[in-house]
Structure 1
Amino acid sequence: MQNEPLMDVAHLGHLELLTPKPEESLRFFVEVMGMTETGREGDSVYLHAYDDYERHSLKLTASRLPGLGHVAYRTRSPQALERRVAALKGSGFDIGWTNGDLAHGRAFLCLDPDGHKIELYYETQWYQPPPELRPALKNQAQRFPARGINVRRLDHWNGLAVDIAANREFFEKYLGFRLTEQIVMDDGSEAAIWMTCTNKSYDFAYTRDHTGTKGRLHHITYAVNSREEVLLAADICLENGVFIETGPHKHAIQQTFFLYVYEPGGNRVEIANPGARLILAPDWKPIRWSEAERKKGQAWGLKTIESFHTYGTPPVEVVTKV
């Protein structure tokens, strides 16, 4: 008999991005991406995309090096949080409880097999817009900002990892994620995974770090409303002197129409439409891509730029010297 799906994790809540250029990075996310500042605490600024229901989806923290501070997932209930904590305790991946953070309650920290820090929480603050940002339609979190790219919501993130299979097993066993697509090499090893805890086709992806360095970040992704807005995002980045790495193109895996840029701190940011698709089948069969299929490049036969396979944060030449 097949095990009942584990649905304790509700969705990707927020990401903490580390930046050695906090003021420049903040200007990028506010003026270019079109996000709204919703709070400050210590060395961190909290930011909201206009249709995120929670008070923030991005925590921007000043740091010596760029990279990912932590990724946070909200559970479906207080009881769901306790169940995940009980499963993680004694696993070797658990860190322990914290008192939470600005805009959300107590949280449990753990590490995946590659050392990415994961935060699980339930209690949260819903975004309450000030009068000047109240939307005309009450079922939208915030007024359309009409500034820069106007990203709508946090969509997913992509981590770099050494042992892809170990991470897949961790997310399946301890957090209840489902595998939707993967790359399997000719030798049978897993080179990349796309996993979901929702009806989205993925909440995160992990790709193999070619340097063998653990715990690095590939990119974070915000979604916009249309392909045309991705094209406009490229023009906006051009006008603002933002480095465009690649795109707009279309991925074959997950079919995302994408643009990749670097924010001033050095982290890769994707602007995407539609972002993740919908997976409605409860018995979805993971799509497997072969080594030969991935060598074809993107959906329209474009060659993938070399830096897309080699660049991550923090830069590996810095990591190895620390």
Structure 2
Amino acid sequence: MQETARDGQSVYLRAYEDFYHHTLKVTERNEPGLGHISWRASSKEALERRVKELEKSGAGKGWIDGDLGHGAAYQFVTPVPVRRLDHVNLMSSDVTRNKNFMMDELGFRLREHVVRNDGSEIGSWLSVSPLVHELAFMGDASTSEQGLGKLHHVAFWYGFPQHLHDLSEVLTENGIQIEAGPLKHGVSQAMCMYVIEPGGNRVELFGDSGYLIFDPDWKPVTWTEEQVERAIIFYGEPLPDTYFKYGTPNVQAPVVNK
């Protein structure tokens, strides 16, 4: 990634096909974790409309001045806190509640989801663009142990599956832990691999973009409880137990929803 700026303990990075000042800001901290995720509105008026909806929902926190390469922004929390940048995946104790919030308040569209026989959702994948997902929520299998509101992973797109094998060699030579892959998900149909960066956060590397959605009448793809294994792994080695339970930060004290 290209370094675009440094400020104190922070470095600003941009992948070569990203077009903004930066798409990732890395700041030195005592423990791994997610600072915030931001979305750019299509216009000042669109931003103001979304702010009104967020304020009505009760999830708004207020305005911030912004940052280097990042204008004024309105912050909010979800109902259950938690070549280019491709997507972000957050762990949640209530996938459906978070999914509905992002759809109702920010205009996201449901692209795929995994549904248990009782109707509850194991995971949901959403976007506001033709990408199959820019944001995903997955059920947190360890809420009783680690608390709520954790980052599962951020994902970067590389463009070709072969690049994952090239990256595997580079990562191994530099002592970076490869958690899983290369493999192919049923959900999104994308080739990928997962690594744990030195700070402790999980990063997904996309070998292709899966598929793009241009049909305005698109209906969400629903995977059943019986199909969950194929939804997660279309082919490749099974994911380790850490994939379903590890997120950052590693919250020790239980979090109580109010």
TM over 0.5: yes
Q: Quick one: structure 1 residues 230 and 319, their matched pair in 2 at CA, closer, same or farther if it must change by over 3 Å? A: farther
Q: Deviations over 1:194-228 (max 9, x none)?
A: 00001111101110011223210111100112011
Q: May I ask how many residue pairs the two structures share in their alignment?
A: 251
Aligned mates of 1:200, 1:227 — CA distance in 2: 18
Distance in 2 (alpha carbons) for counterparts of 1:166 and 1:41: 37
Match of 1:265 among 190, 199, 202: 199
Alignment CA distance shift 1:98-1:301 (3 Å): closer
Shift of 1:90: 3.4
Q: Is 1:233 matched up with 2:164?
A: no
Q: Deviations over 1:244-277 (max 9, x none)?
A: 1010011111111011111000000111121352
Residue of structure 2 in register with 1:63 after alignment: 29
Q: Which residue does 1:173 correspond to in 2?
A: 104
CA distance in 2, matches of 1:309, 1:303: 12
Aligned to 2:87: 156
Structure 2 runs not aligned, ≥5 long:
none
Structure 1 position 63, deviation (Å): 2.1
Does the aligned pair in 1 maintain the 2:113–2:220 contact within 8 Å? yes
Q: 1:274 aligns with which of 204, 208, 211?
A: 208
Of residues 34, 43, 46, the one that matches 2:9 is: 43
Equivalent residues of 2:89, 2:135 under 8 A apart: yes
Q: Distance in 2 between matches of 1:277 and 1:52?
A: 19
Q: Give me the CA root mean square deviation.
A: 1.5
Percent of aligned pairs with the same amino acid: 41
Letter paired with 2:247: G
User: Structure 1 counterpart of 2:10, which letter?
Assistant: S
Contact residue 224 and residue 272 of structure 1 kept, 8 A: yes
- Say if 1:228 and 1:73 are closer, same or farther in 2 by CA, change over 3 A: same
Q: Which amino acid aligns with 1:71?
A: I
Q: Which residue of 2 aligns with 1:303?
A: 238
Show the counterpart of 1:79. 45
Shift of 1:320: 4.6
Bigger Cα Rg:
1
- Distance in 1, matches of 2:56 and 2:106, equals 15
Unaligned runs of 5+ in 1: 1-34, 117-151
TM-score (ref. length: structure 1): 0.75
SS of equivalent residue, structure 2 residue 38? strand
Which residue of structure 2 lines up, in the alignment, with residue 182 of structure 1? Answer: 113
- Are 1:202 and 1:276, in contact at CA under 8 Å, matched by a contact in 2? no
Match of 1:195 among 126, 132, 138: 126
User: CA-to-partner distance for each residue in 1:114-145, whole Å, 9 max, x for gaps?
Assistant: 224xxxxxxxxxxxxxxxxxxxxxxxxxxxxx
Is contact 1:218-1:313 (8 Å) kept? yes
Instruction: Work out whether residues 115 and 215 of structure 1, in 8 Å CA contact, stay in contact via their aligned partners in 2.
Output: yes
TM-score by length of 2: 0.93
